[in-house]
Chain A
């Protein structure tokens, strides 16, 4: 019999709280370092939540599931693992409190086994409600209310949009505050900011540059141990982490080639036989090989090649003739460095041909210099590469007394670029804003939108059907319970019944058509869809979406928007049907604009808390209101943790009350200049936490098995791999 552990809130909360207690020491600017050791003797300093959770090697299945969710989120956003756990803990605590209250009202009359099953049904229902809540209410609040508080990282000078350096600095400052040791935060943050600007060719290429750095950060960083952190520096050009086999000093620009196979021909190639008939023949073949090598190297020299970069070992003869011809050689270059080099200088490897007397060099790139550089008591090759259109090659030399620290800094640097990528990306929300102008591109968005909303209806239908079923199930179990449940959610059940009849077949067909249009358009403009800003005719839309809280949208439109919102909440409504059938109306996706930031220190959380609370007060549906206030209260856990150690004016209560007053008075909330954080990252974090929560709530029993589970797409099997 396999051992089984109960799922549900209790066990999840237990697991999450243990993780929280471990991570709590390193949260926020006051957080401390954690040392991870391995039996191999490696040590790593870390304040990176994701890394710490992985280092723990937790056994508990639920905890493992949480860890997986955290690392998935962190792979995308590069940050926020600690916040993730804190939020999740508080959500689970909130849920537990709610259930305990309910259970209290029933008394202890139900047998425990039965209660467990009932709880599970309830969890499942709640988890689905949370999902739909996230997709609609949360996105709606983000798009409608929170937007007006957003600051931007860009500075506008006339038509031009530029990344504001001081904003970027405070964004990175805030990020590094949570990631590296206290005495190095400022320095590393400044270094990363400098690195960003040094590598940046022009504003438009920044996404490409960030992608490149993100992909090849290991090749671009060199760790030097034994020096103080303050000796870290940025060097222009590229460092190959190998020494010269032959170094011939040369001045000025030089041509280089890359080879990935030995230049010297082998006596025999694979699959062939060399028949040796006489000793003289054997000698002659040796001489031929040497001669060939000599000619190739001479030929390279005559073509002005000064540097040969090889990913494999070259024979002694190649080295010898290279030296004779004044060609520097670097061997054994790691394949990642070769691929990065090829990418930066757009060079393809040279293939020597032994048949012809002259070899054809298809590609040779220019470097401005090539010299040895001494790092970490080792000699490396320092290349002065010419910049490509988006990336000016620079390398980062990170120093520290021990390797554990330099590793931490390299990882934090990597994470910083992930965060930057999120900051500069437009994040689409599933909530849509209505607009009226029509053109081809807008149609595409419209169709996409309709597709989404259709999908949304489906989701809701499924949800309500399930709920209906659940209530039927419950009525079999316990009639009194069903009644109370029905009393709790009268409209919802009603609407769910209605919804099944009300889905118009016309919508389906229409959506199908639009979807086809959209797809064809997607093919013709593969890249353009996302970049709404650049399209001239769409300026108006942007105004209505991104401007100061929809100032350009007339009042009557606003009411329609609100109706639409209501539609998204309750999903099936008579108006919604009308809206869908009305082809003159169209929608565009709301989105979090690229570069949106908010001051750090729980600002995002307090703001969202305020609006969610507000929403839950106005909301008619008790369960939606319940979820809303649950999330709202859980959001406060982060600022509570951050301000825990603060006293007096800076304590949590003060900050909270001040912000609340300001919001009620409709004043702008004064941001502390300490730092900024990306809204997109924060929002993604929140949604991942909610997804994780729903995942945790959907299973009731964890069964440990002895063999590998079959890959059936089952949740637990994914966790166990």
Chain B
């Protein structure tokens, strides 16, 4: 019952960004996300006041999903990060930090929002054009004949999630497993378009990380009751026939339709249905089916009857397993209790029962399939969740990389490189661009400066231990130095490797401090790094980062362009 109530008038607030409360909460949000960034990021513990589980994380998706943001402007920011993450899984923190910095930097400029929005849009197009061009100095192409690059990519993702609590060795192991699982999902016989298979993640909490493993096929948890009745009988043929049902076999009376059913005394519909199920059982037996899998419940009578005839029954597998099961066995999910066509059966190579941890599992081993299972172990619940997230992210990134075989240099190098590129580019802006954006040369430079500062600030967020941050003038890469260094030492002796690991201190690179107040304009073009692949590079997903960059600038523009908020309070 709804009551008709007069609508209350909405609340209209203008000049939002200048309000102290918003700038405060914006910088608060920025500090939260920035402190989580990178391999040495600080962890956040999320818990609600009334108890419940505590979640320790540093990943953007968990963090932002759980933050209860009240102000509409911050809500836009967080929603756009969430939407980005739902598409690309990666680079959520990057997007959030960059967007916050952009808003804060532009806010200080004292220019009209129209100019800022137009110029930043143009700067973004310069960046995306550069990143998409062959001459781009901060991207490398991924070589699929060599696993090195892909491995670096996965490793960078796993190590950037410190809440997984992995040691170096464990991280390597997990990265290898992720890559192995991914390779198993690639079909062998590639047609003109290949459909990737699926990796199912099975949780094993409280086990050692090194016990994690990848298995081909599907693991289904075995209910305790079935342990007694399950008699492993090696079947003669080298393949087992599988029937997969998607309808319930519990003996329910099906929907009688819109009319009424009149049942004569003495007639039991339940019996009729059970008889029907047993008939079905007979058909399955005569068709020499070895395994019956049902999405829903199988009636115990039928189960027992089938077991007597050495047919293994697995029920309640759930909807999420149906698709991988169909794909692996080649069956067609059966939606009818009678008139089953023999073409709808599928096959598996073998079925065995194994124990992982303390639980027994059915292991369906396929003949030749792209479905595999990743058994993921970690010490506790929250660390396992974070590890699972890292695995899913890595899988997604690998899929994206297959589509676009490029990777960006990680460890802050892409950001500083882009900033250096832009600052070189804006030394002389053509008149036509100024006219198209309706601004003057100094205005353009001020906005560009704020943009570059925001990019560098993202790179600086990687450093959480008060170290000094440098950029070199030759490649525009990012370097960090221990905080307590003796005053009279050359930079070259302090730095060892740049953020992404592509360059070392062997070259004379002309370093300068990043956090200097004055933004040094780059007077000469950046050199493209020689593509000699090192063993340990930090890499980022190209597609995710490129889109993250675009989304961050677009979101910042949206927020800056707001003149007022109308809040409907009904």
Contacts and interface: CB of A to CB of B under 8 A. Distances in A.
A473 interface: no
Contact of A182 (B10, B259, B333, B561): B561
Given A34-B566, A226-B84, A228-B551, A183 B118 contact: yes
Interface stretch (A82-90, A202-210, A282-290, A539-547): A282-290
Contacts of A37: 72, 565-568
Contact of B118 (A32, A182, A279): A182
Which label, helix, strand, loop or mixed, suits the secondary structure of the A interface? Answer: mixed
Interface size bracket, B side? 35 or more
Contact of A25 (B255, B259, B272, B564): B564
Given A58-B9, A324-B332, A272 B259 contact: yes
Interface stretch (B75-83, B353-361, B440-448): B75-83
* Most chain B CB inside 10 Å of its own CB: which residue of A30, A34, A279, A283: A279
Interface in B236-278: 246-247, 254-264, 267-269, 271-272, 275-276
B256 A267 contact: yes
Contacts of A267: 254-257, 259, 261
Interface stretch (B336-344, B373-381, B424-432): B336-344
B192 interface: no
A11 B202 CA distance: 69
Interface in B539-570: 547, 550-551, 554-555, 557-558, 561-570
A181 interface: yes
A615 B193 CA distance: 72
B301 interface: no
A277 B79 CA distance: 61
Which label, helix, strand, loop or mixed, suits the secondary structure of the B interface? Answer: mixed
A275 B563 contact: no
B263 to A, nearest CB: 5
B145 interface: no
A275 B262 contact: yes
Contacts of A501: none
Interface string A14-53: 0000000010011000111111111101010100000010
A34 B563 contact: yes
Contacts of B562: 32-35
A59 B344 CA distance: 65
Contacts of A293: 336
Contact of B558 (A39, A290, A315, A401): A401
Given A266-B257, A282-B269, A55 B561 contact: no
Contact of B333 (A269, A320, A321, A403): A320
B563 A228 contact: no
Interface in A465-499: none
B557 A286 contact: no
Given A34-B565, A267-B261, A401-B558, A287 B338 contact: yes
B103 to A, nearest CB: 13
B7 interface: yes
A268 B551 contact: no
Nearest to B113: A32
A25 to B, nearest CB: 4
Contacts of B83: 225-226, 401-403
Contacts of B12: 22, 56
B117 interface: yes
A266 to B, nearest CB: 3
A409 to B, nearest CB: 12
Contacts of B264: 275-278
A32 B568 CA distance: 20
Contacts of A286: 254, 276, 337-338
Contact of B80 (A33, A226, A291, A377): A226
A274 interface: yes
A22 B566 CA distance: 10
* Most chain A CB inside 10 Å of its own CB: which residue of B12, B88, B271, B336: B336
A267 B253 CA distance: 11
A720 to B, nearest CB: 11
A537 interface: no
Contacts of B254: 267, 286
Contacts of A31: 563
Contacts of B319: none
A278 B263 CA distance: 8
B561 A279 contact: no
Contacts of B558: 33, 45, 181, 401-402, 405
Contact of B267 (A277, A323, A324, A405): A277
A323 B330 CA distance: 13
B545 to A, nearest CB: 13
A286 B272 CA distance: 10
B75 A274 contact: no
A436 B87 CA distance: 69
A578 interface: no
B509 interface: no
A253 B261 CA distance: 45
A294 interface: yes
B282 interface: no
A367 to B, nearest CB: 20
Interface string A309-320: 000000111111
B547 A32 contact: no
Contacts of A402: 76, 79-80, 83, 555, 558
Contacts of B73: 35
Interface in A248-292: 266-280, 282-283, 286-287, 290-291
A642 B114 CA distance: 15
A375 to B, nearest CB: 11
B256 A268 contact: yes
A300 interface: no
B121 interface: yes
A454 B480 CA distance: 88
A585 interface: no
B400 interface: no
Contact of B566 (A39, A55, A290, A319): A55
A227 B547 CA distance: 7
Contacts of B568: 36-39, 55, 57
B263 A276 contact: yes
A217 to B, nearest CB: 23
A269 B564 contact: no
B334 interface: yes
B336 A320 contact: yes
A35 B255 contact: no
Contacts of B118: 182-183
A324 B343 contact: yes
Contacts of B269: 276, 279, 282
B262 A320 contact: no
Nearest to B80: A401
A509 B334 CA distance: 80
Given A182-B557, A316-B247, A270 B258 contact: yes
Given A59-B9, A226-B86, A181 B557 contact: yes
Given A269-B257, A274-B256, A401-B555, A56 B9 contact: yes
Interface string A166-197: 00000000000000011100000000000000
B259 A274 contact: yes
Contacts of A52: 566
B114 A182 contact: yes
A404 interface: yes
The 3 closest A-B pairs by CB, nearest first: A266-B257, A268-B259, A226-B83
17 contacts: A32-B113, A35-B564, A36-B568, A38-B568, A56-B566, A58-B9, A226-B88, A266-B259, A267-B256, A270-B257, A276-B267, A278-B264, A290-B336, A294-B339, A377-B86, A401-B555, A404-B76
Given A32-B561, A273-B261, A277-B267, 8 more contacts: A33-B558, A34-B564, A35-B562, A55-B566, A55-B568, A227-B551, A268-B257, A324-B332
Interface of B: 7-10, 12, 14, 72-73, 75-76, 79-80, 82-88, 113-114, 117-118, 121, 246-247, 254-264, 267-269, 271-272, 275-276, 332-339, 341, 343-344, 547, 550-551, 554-555, 557-558, 561-570
